[in-house]
Structure 1
C-alpha cells in the first residue's frame, strides 16, 4: 500500500482499495508500463524502491522493487479494505489459507499479504484509503477477476474473510453465468470464476487475481508490450475487433488490457 493516503470516502469494507506490482527491475517496469499503458510516475514516502503510477495525473497503482534475495515471482496484487486486519488475518488462517507477510504497520494503517486456499495472492488493508481511487471509475483499474479452481468455494472463502454480505455491508456477491460478481454502487468491481488449474505449468492458467486496465487502443498496447520485451498471453475477440488481451511484462507479471 502507498503510505501517503487520502481520507476514506466511497471505499467500504471488503471492497478493492489498491493494486500493486512488485518487480525485480523497477526502472524497467516503469519504462514498460509507460509505453504500454501511458503511465507517468511520482515518488512516495516509502523510499526510492517505490512509486505511484499515474494516468492523466491521477493514481492508478503502486509499483515496488523486489529485493534480489527474495524468491518471489513478480505479480500484480489487489488489496481489499477491512475494518480489522488482525481479525481478517485470523479468518484467513482459520480457513486453511496463508498469511505470508504481516500484518505490518504503516503511517496510515496496517497491511498483510496473503494467499487463498488455492494459492491466489491478495492483500488486506486496515486504515485510510484514497478518496480519488475506486475500481471501475476514473484512473483506477476497470475491474478485478479471480480465476480459480472452484468459484463457489473461493467465494465461500472471501465472503467471511472480507466481510461481504455482513450486516451493513454494501457488497454482496451474486451469481451470473456461473461466476460470482461483486458490485459496488451498481458497477462490477470484482468477479470470481472457475476453470483455473492449480497444478498447471502455465502461470496464466493457475488460480490468480487478474487486474484489468482500460486502454484507448488494445492493439496498440499489445504491440507496445511485445516491442518492450513482454508478450501476448491470450486475447479475446468480439466480431472483428479485439476486446481484451492478457499480457506478460518482461519480469513475468500478468495483467489484462480492455477497451476504455
Structure 2
C-alpha cells in the first residue's frame, strides 16, 4: 500500500493555519472528519452534489483530491485514488487524538493494526488503523479543518460501528481514545439496549452495534464504520442517488442506506431524528 494513500485527505490537509481553529486536544476521542476514496473524481463530485448538495474546493495535495463543502463548511475529503493505488472504495471516519504515536501504539498493543502512519500533514499528523475485527478508522492529531461544532452541524450526524461484539469493541476504542477516562473533555460511554452510545459535550457522536460477521461474503455485514449524513429530505436523496448511478440498500421515512456509483456505502438520516 502506498504510504500516502489512506491519509491523503486528512483533516488538516491543504488548509492554511487559523488562530481560531480547534485542536484535537479540545475534542479528543471524538470523530472529527470523514474521508472517501473513489475511482472517478468527477463522477464522485457529481453524485454527492446531487444527493447531498455539496460544493467543492481543491486541495494542495494535488488534482486527485477535493474538499467537500456544505453551506461553506468543509465537511469531508475525497481522494480519487482507489484504482491508481488499488484501494478499497469506502468512507472512513477519523478520531481526534492528542498524540498520534501514543494512539497507534495503544492500538497495536490491543490487537489492532496500523496500515499507515502516523505521517505528518501540517498542521498535524494522521494514521490509518484497523481494529481487532478489521473495521478501518483513522486518527488525527493537530488543528481541525474547521470548528468542530460547525463541522458536525453541517453534515455528519453520527457514525456507527457494526461489529461482532459491541462491548468488546467499546473497550478497545475506549483504551485507545481515552473514552470514559475521567479526563476533562473526554467522551462519555453509555450502554443502552444492547448498543454502546458515545457522547461528546453532551451530543451523541457515535454508536456501536453487535451483529456484524467477520467473514461474511457481503461487505455490508462485515465489521465496519458507517457514516451517517444529516439531510432535510431523505426521499429526495434516495431519488437523486438512483438517478445518478447509486443504489439503495434500505429505505425508511427518516433514514436510508445508500451506495455511491463506486460502491462506497453511507447513510442519510433526517435532521428531525438527530
Whether TM-score is above 0.5 comes out as yes
Contact map agreement 1:59 1:140 (CA 8 A) in 2: no
Residue 52 of structure 1 and its aligned partner are, at CA, apart by: 1.0
Which whole-Å CA distance do the structure 1 matches of 2:63 and 2:164 have between them?
38
Matched, 1:161 2:172: no
Matched, 1:111 2:111: no
Question: Please, which runs of 5 or more residues in structure 2 have no aligned partner?
Answer: 1-9
Contact map agreement 1:17 1:134 (CA 8 A) in 2: no
Matched, 1:66 2:81: yes
The residue number in structure 1 matching 2:92 is 77
Residue 200 of structure 2 is aligned with which of 181, 184, 196?
184
Contact map agreement 1:114 1:122 (CA 8 A) in 2: yes
The residue number in structure 1 matching 2:261 is 250
CA offsets per residue over residues 1-30 of structure 1, 9 Å max, x none? 141265226941111111110111111100
Question: Please, which runs of 5 or more residues in structure 1 have no aligned partner?
Answer: none
Contact map agreement 1:145 1:190 (CA 8 A) in 2: yes
CA RMSD of aligned residues (A): 1.7
Contact map agreement 1:133 1:139 (CA 8 A) in 2: no
Residue 47 of structure 1 and its aligned partner are, at CA, apart by: 1.8
CA offsets per residue over residues 79-118 of structure 1, 9 Å max, x none? 0011111111011111111100111111101100011111
Residue 129 of structure 1 and its aligned partner are, at CA, apart by: 1.1
Contact map agreement 2:117 2:127 (CA 8 A) in 1: yes
The aligned runs of 1:1-260 (5 Å cut-off) are 1=10, 2-3=12-13, 4=15, 6=18, 7-8=21-22, 11-134=26-149, 137-168=152-183, 169-235=185-251, 237=252, 242-260=253-271
**Would you say how many aligned residue pairs link Structure 1 and Structure 2?**
255
TM-score by length of 1: 0.93
Runs of 4+ more than 6 Å apart: none
Which whole-Å CA distance do the structure 2 matches of 1:234 and 1:71 have between them?
28
Contact map agreement 2:74 2:145 (CA 8 A) in 1: no
Query: Per the alignment, in what secondary structure is the counterpart of residue 154 of structure 1?
Result: helix
Residue 72 of structure 1 and its aligned partner are, at CA, apart by: 1.8
Which whole-Å CA distance do the structure 2 matches of 1:68 and 1:17 have between them?
26
Contact map agreement 1:24 1:251 (CA 8 A) in 2: yes
